[in-house]
A and B are shown apart, each in its own frame.
Chain A
Amino acid sequence: MSTAAATWRSSTASLRRVPDWAWAVFFVALAILYPYILDQLMTAPDDLLDASIQTLGYIIMALGLNIVVGFAGLLDLGYVAFYAIGAFVIGWLGSQQFPNVNGGKGIHILTPVESAFGRAFPGIHINYFIVIFIAAIFTAFWGAILGAPTLRLRGDYLAIVTLAFGEIVPRVFENATSGIFGIGSTDFSNGRQGITPIDKINFPWTDKAFNYPLELKPVYYVGLGMVLFVIFFNRRLRDSRLGRAWIAVREDEVAAAAMGVNLVRTKLWAYAIGAALGGFSGVFLATYNNTVNVDQFEFGFSVFILAMVIIGGMGNIWGVILGAIALSIFNRYGLKQLNGVPDTVGLDFDVTSINFGIFGFFLLAMMVLRPEGFLPSSRRRLELHEVEFDESPDHLGTETGDAQLYEVRHE
């Protein structure tokens, strides 16, 4: 046992000697070569590649939620709202949803104007690479709108407000087939049918659109590019003045405010940037899935993304990515493997139908057994175990953790 532990320790120590940039190069190279590796390994890699492309979208969302939950320590239970808003932005700006604009000729910006048969596409068609940034800005705006009045609230109230927001947004979209709240008569969402098809991705310099689902590699690389961009963005952000302010607010709001951190502005940026990434990814997933449908935007999805952040390790970018990959692959393939389990205990049901229950169980088990996640950020782990550290006998003289549960109220 002890020799095994020693070997393990020495092997991790030698792993630590590998510089960070070498790891980065290794993983990026692996991600770039991944589709070709799959080609070599299996005869029909498309299913796994398809799952991987979805995973890329989830990674971006998990990284976005990580900014809110992991960095700033605010619980957001309505993250799906930003996915929905982002998806509807591409639904509006990249489909035939509004056939009457511009006198039926449509608006085309850096997208193919005519179909193969020479007919102009009606509706608004803006290039994907422009729409992702429009959507990011638009969702950031909504994130700020949600955040601005609610950030005075305590953590649990804030969580419920975000949850309510996450419930309202899909319902508004679902019912906005003839104006919103009875005002106007534009069809914004096509109701339960949803908006489909969505324009295929094309590069701004060519009219030739991608040909997925037949050819998946180009989409994979677009998604990978977006993920790498988001990782870079997140890392720079975390170490920036704003990122340090988030962590300070998370650890102790009062102390942070006393040190001159503007609480409201700091939290608002966390909400806005987290939301922007949700929208960013929403555009990608909606385009790839070729549909924007309100059925996708349920509370369970928010919890799915939250579970990725919690299981991977709140606050740690690499942990969150790991959590996103693990959960989305588990959701796609792992659950099917478990289908034999109910039979063995004499029950008969489909495990995939209770996937959210299983994610709920993961959340529960993780929070009770290992709240810092599998790949924790060292700082977050210390916070989450603060009480234990404080109460351990070799750590004298600090206050106990009671203040955590019953907060001191100001009269």
Chain B
Amino acid sequence: MEAASIPETPSGARQPSRSPLTVVSDNILWILLAVALVVYFVQDPKQTLDDVKTGLSNGTIWALIALGYTLVYGIIELINFAHGEVFMIGSFVAVSLWQSLGVTADNAIVGIVLAILLALVASMLASGVLNVMIERVAYKPLRNAPKLAPLITAIGMSFILQNVGLLWRPTPDSSPDLIGSQKDYFTVFGVAIEHSDVFAFVVTVPLLIALVWFVGQTRYGKAMRATAQDPDAARLMGINVDRTISLTFLLGGLLAGAAGVIYALYNGTIQFNQGFTAGLIAFTAAVMGGIGNLKGAVVGGLIIGVIQSISDTHFGQVWTPAVVFAILILIMVFKPQGLFGEETREG
């Protein structure tokens, strides 16, 4: 799995021998979450399975966005706060494309598939290029500034893009339901798997495989990992660090664009402020998995999705954002290295 993760610290961290008690207290968050899941399952198996299914499908969106956070954080230790907005722009591009082409669910199946593929390509490219531009404008001039400086420009960038979205679509807009998202595809254990669930996985899984291959097997991926480990040494070895950083932003943007397309088809509505909440949720996912770790971002995204749908059922939808943000705070405070991350200074 080493190939798929951007290692944070080069040398093997000292592993102090751990008693069972510390293992439990270190992982108390995960244990509590698992216990809650089991309790709910015993109470109402069908509802809980349904929640898990919804959560996993939604989780693919968070996973794709979280990968963007984690890639960028792994390489320049910056929280790319504008990443949620990149995702929002991805959704907007896709829906605008469909609207201008006049694609609806009534078109022939070939036309729909082509339209979706076209939208995927267009959204991913738009988001990727946008993300690279954000890096050029907002972060590159501040490479050597104190750490808070790029974080502040990131927030500024996020607000600029959010307001661009506001001008583009002042009110929530609905996406054409190209995949018949509510229709059942098949049923497992009494849980109806809808078209939208299948769609989310059909888009996500190949992208993840491509990403793992790219980071793990190609020269560019090697350059990324080297830059993440030690940018100076990477530069000495002839790696173009600036270009590698741009490439990382491009990859993050591509994934966010794909997430935007899934979101548009899965939820049916898009609006200018979807990126802010999605960004925070995905960031929670990235931290949960261990920021800088690709596998962690995906697992974290899926877990957050499940937590959300379970919270929707048991606390009510109005409390779900508060629940997610509370989990973010708890993880940051008690387990900042996340599920798969290595021990960091504050860990």
> Chain B residues near A371 (CB, 8 Å)?
145, 149
Stretch at the interface among A92-100, A148-156, A269-277: A148-156
> Which of B145, B315, B333 has the most CB atoms of chain A within a 10 A radius of its CB?
B145
1/0 per position for A134-169, CB-CB distance to B under 8 A? 000000000000000110111111011101110110
- Asked whether B332 lies within 8 Å of A364 as measured between CB atoms, the reply is no
Which of chain B's residues 316-347 have a Cβ closer than 8 Å to chain A?
318-319, 321-322, 325-326, 328-329, 332-334, 336, 344-346
- The CA-CA distance from A152 to B159 in the complex, in Å, is 28
- The CA-CA distance from A306 to B158 in the complex, in Å, is 14
Partner of A405, one of B11, B144, B148: B144
> Chain B residues near A159 (CB, 8 Å)?
79, 148, 151
Partner of B332, one of A160, A167, A356, A387: A160
- Asked whether A409 lies within 8 Å of B345 as measured between CB atoms, the reply is yes
Is the C-beta of B178 less than 8 angstroms from some C-beta in chain A? no
> Chain A residues near B322 (CB, 8 Å)?
167-168, 171-172, 175
- Asked whether B232 lies within 8 Å of A364 as measured between CB atoms, the reply is no
Partner of A357, one of B162, B170, B231: B162
- The CA-CA distance from A181 to B319 in the complex, in Å, is 8
- The CA-CA distance from A164 to B81 in the complex, in Å, is 13
In the assembled complex, how far is the CB of residue B11 from the closest CB belonging to chain A, in whole angstroms? 7
- Asked whether A310 lies within 8 Å of B152 as measured between CB atoms, the reply is yes
- Asked whether A303 lies within 8 Å of B145 as measured between CB atoms, the reply is no
Stretch at the interface among B46-54, B111-119, B135-143: B135-143
> Chain A residues near B78 (CB, 8 Å)?
156
- The CA-CA distance from A157 to B49 in the complex, in Å, is 34
Is the C-beta of B14 less than 8 angstroms from some C-beta in chain A? yes
- With both beta carbons as reference points, the residue of chain A lying nearest to B327 in the complex is identified as A164
- Given the contacts A181-B319, A411-B9, A161 and B333 also touching, CB distance less than 8 Å: yes
- With both beta carbons as reference points, the residue of chain B lying nearest to A149 in the complex is identified as B333
User: For chain B, which range describes its interface: under 10, 10 to 19, 20 to 34, or 35 or more residues?
Assistant: 35 or more
Is the C-beta of A359 less than 8 angstroms from some C-beta in chain B? yes
> Chain A residues near B232 (CB, 8 Å)?
402
- Asked whether A356 lies within 8 Å of B162 as measured between CB atoms, the reply is yes
User: For chain A, which range describes its interface: under 10, 10 to 19, 20 to 34, or 35 or more residues?
Assistant: 35 or more
Is the C-beta of B180 less than 8 angstroms from some C-beta in chain A? no
- Given the contacts A353-B166, A357-B163, A364-B156, A157 and B336 also touching, CB distance less than 8 Å: yes
Is the C-beta of B153 less than 8 angstroms from some C-beta in chain A? yes
- With both beta carbons as reference points, the residue of chain B lying nearest to A405 in the complex is identified as B143
Partner of A411, one of B13, B148, B159: B13
- Asked whether B329 lies within 8 Å of A165 as measured between CB atoms, the reply is yes
Is the C-beta of A384 less than 8 angstroms from some C-beta in chain B? yes
Is the C-beta of A349 less than 8 angstroms from some C-beta in chain B? yes
Is the C-beta of A75 less than 8 angstroms from some C-beta in chain B? yes
> Chain A residues near B280 (CB, 8 Å)?
163-164, 167
- Given the contacts A152-B346, A167-B325, A363 and B153 also touching, CB distance less than 8 Å: yes
1/0 per position for B263-299, CB-CB distance to A under 8 A? 0000000000000100010010001000000000000
Is the C-beta of B210 less than 8 angstroms from some C-beta in chain A? no
- Asked whether B333 lies within 8 Å of A360 as measured between CB atoms, the reply is no
In the assembled complex, how far is the CB of residue A315 from the closest CB belonging to chain B, in whole angstroms? 12
- Given the contacts A383-B146, A401-B144, A361 and B156 also touching, CB distance less than 8 Å: yes
> Chain A residues near B155 (CB, 8 Å)?
77, 303, 306, 360, 363
Is the C-beta of A47 less than 8 angstroms from some C-beta in chain B? no
Is the C-beta of A194 less than 8 angstroms from some C-beta in chain B? no
Is the C-beta of A15 less than 8 angstroms from some C-beta in chain B? no
Is the C-beta of A312 less than 8 angstroms from some C-beta in chain B? no
- The CA-CA distance from A125 to B222 in the complex, in Å, is 67
> Which of B146, B162, B164, B328 has the most CB atoms of chain A within a 10 A radius of its CB?
B146
- The CA-CA distance from A152 to B230 in the complex, in Å, is 25
In the assembled complex, how far is the CB of residue B226 from the closest CB belonging to chain A, in whole angstroms? 13
Chain B's interface: helix, strand, loop or mixed, by majority?
helix
- Asked whether A160 lies within 8 Å of B79 as measured between CB atoms, the reply is yes
Which of chain A's residues 373-411 have a Cβ closer than 8 Å to chain B?
383-384, 386-387, 401-402, 404-407, 409-411
Is the C-beta of B160 less than 8 angstroms from some C-beta in chain A? yes
- Asked whether A160 lies within 8 Å of B283 as measured between CB atoms, the reply is yes
Partner of A410, one of B8, B142, B345: B345
- The CA-CA distance from A101 to B156 in the complex, in Å, is 46
Which of chain A's residues 277-306 have a Cβ closer than 8 Å to chain B?
299-300, 303, 306
- Asked whether A153 lies within 8 Å of B149 as measured between CB atoms, the reply is no
> Chain A residues near B160 (CB, 8 Å)?
357, 360-361, 364
- The CA-CA distance from A364 to B152 in the complex, in Å, is 7
Partner of B157, one of A149, A164, A360: A360
In the assembled complex, how far is the CB of residue B144 from the closest CB belonging to chain A, in whole angstroms? 4
> Which of A150, A159, A160 has the most CB atoms of chain B within a 10 A radius of its CB?
A160
- Asked whether B329 lies within 8 Å of A164 as measured between CB atoms, the reply is yes
In the assembled complex, how far is the CB of residue A278 from the closest CB belonging to chain B, in whole angstroms? 18
> Chain A residues near B328 (CB, 8 Å)?
160-161, 164
- Asked whether A407 lies within 8 Å of B146 as measured between CB atoms, the reply is no
Partner of A360, one of B137, B141, B156, B318: B156
Partner of B159, one of A73, A75, A303: A303
Is the C-beta of B76 less than 8 angstroms from some C-beta in chain A? yes
In the assembled complex, how far is the CB of residue A78 from the closest CB belonging to chain B, in whole angstroms? 10
Is the C-beta of B147 less than 8 angstroms from some C-beta in chain A? yes
Is the C-beta of B167 less than 8 angstroms from some C-beta in chain A? yes
Partner of B77, one of A310, A383, A406: A406
- The CA-CA distance from A300 to B159 in the complex, in Å, is 8
- Asked whether A387 lies within 8 Å of B144 as measured between CB atoms, the reply is yes
> Chain A residues near B326 (CB, 8 Å)?
164, 168
- Asked whether B319 lies within 8 Å of A161 as measured between CB atoms, the reply is no
Is the C-beta of A354 less than 8 angstroms from some C-beta in chain B? yes
In the assembled complex, how far is the CB of residue A33 from the closest CB belonging to chain B, in whole angstroms? 37
- Asked whether B344 lies within 8 Å of A368 as measured between CB atoms, the reply is no
- Given the contacts A73-B148, A168-B322, A368 and B162 also touching, CB distance less than 8 Å: no
> Chain B residues near A402 (CB, 8 Å)?
144, 232
- The CA-CA distance from A306 to B346 in the complex, in Å, is 26
- With both beta carbons as reference points, the residue of chain B lying nearest to A368 in the complex is identified as B141
Task: Give 7 CB contacts A-B under 8 Å.
Answer: A156-B151, A164-B280, A164-B325, A356-B162, A363-B153, A371-B145, A371-B149
11 additional contacts (CB under 8 A) given A164-B280, A368-B141, A405-B143: A149-B334, A152-B333, A164-B325, A175-B319, A300-B159, A306-B152, A306-B155, A364-B157, A368-B153, A402-B232, A410-B345
Q: Which residues of B contact A (CB under 8 A)?
A: 8-9, 11, 13-14, 76-79, 137-138, 141-153, 155-160, 162-164, 166-167, 170, 230-232, 276, 280, 283, 287, 315, 318-319, 321-322, 325-326, 328-329, 332-334, 336, 344-346
Closest 9 CB pairs of A and B: A357-B163, A360-B159, A363-B156, A364-B156, A164-B325, A354-B163, A360-B156, A401-B144, A387-B144
